[in-house]
């Protein structure tokens, strides 16, 4: 399962690229719109993909992470992918901080540098 937020397409494209065959993609914007914050997870991994806004998380993503409840049997591997233009700032740390309050740890797997909206230039860093 991959949760994503994307205003201009980079993060959605990223989520689609890293998803496994048949993996569920959940739009954070649609979930917030429907006030849907409870999700059952049967996958071995759960990802979050989001743009960096002002060196941190977009407010809609912060709101979503605060309200999110994940139901699972075995704890899945969780990761966070930030797309950004010049610097991802504190976005990965913020996401991890918010999820740790729920007993989850988000590994910052990789960050994608997206110089202009709609243009994915390169995978620049693997943490």
Ligand X SMILES: Cc1cc2nc3c(=O)[nH]c(=O)nc-3n(C[C@H](O)[C@H](O)[C@H](O)COP(=O)(O)O)c2cc1C
List of residues contacting ligand X (CB under 6 A): 6-11, 51-55, 83-87, 89, 114, 117
- In the bound state with ligand X, the residue whose beta carbon lies nearer, of 11 and 92, is 11
- In the bound state with ligand X, the residue whose beta carbon lies nearer, of 29 and 72, is 29
For residue 71, list its beta bridge partners. 40
- Residue whose tokens read 């918010």: 98
- In the bound state with ligand X, the residue whose beta carbon lies nearer, of 98 and 113, is 113
Yes or no: say if 110 and 123 are a contact pair by the CB < 8 Å rule.
Answer: yes
- In the bound state with ligand X, the residue whose beta carbon lies nearer, of 17 and 102, is 17
* Distance of alpha carbon 62 from alpha carbon 117, whole angstroms: 21
* Shortest reach from residue 96's CB to ligand X, in Å: 18
Q: Provide the token pair at 59.
A: 């407010």
* Shortest reach from residue 14's CB to ligand X, in Å: 7
* Shortest reach from residue 7's CB to ligand X, in Å: 4
* Distance of alpha carbon 97 from alpha carbon 18, whole angstroms: 23
Q: What one-character-per-residue DSSP string does 32-56 give?
A: HHTT--EEE--SSEEEEEEE-BTTB
* Shortest reach from residue 65's CB to ligand X, in Å: 16
């Amino acid at each position: 399962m991959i949760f994503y937020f994307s205003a201009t397409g980079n993060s959605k494209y990223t989520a689609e690229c890293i998803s496994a065959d048949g993996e569920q993609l959940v739009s954070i914007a649609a979930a917030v719109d429907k006030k849907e914050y409870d999700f059952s997870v049967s996958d071995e991994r759960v990802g979050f993909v989001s743009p960096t806004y002002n060196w941190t998380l977009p407010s809609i993503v912060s709101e979503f992470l605060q309200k999110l409840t994940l139901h699972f049997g075995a704890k899945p591997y969780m990761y966070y992918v930030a797309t950004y233009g010049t610097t991802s700032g504190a976005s990965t740390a913020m996401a991890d901080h918010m999820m740790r309050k729920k007993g989850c740890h988000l590994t910052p797997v990789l960050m994608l540098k997206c110089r202009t909206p709609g243009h994915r230039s390169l995978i620049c860093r693997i943490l």
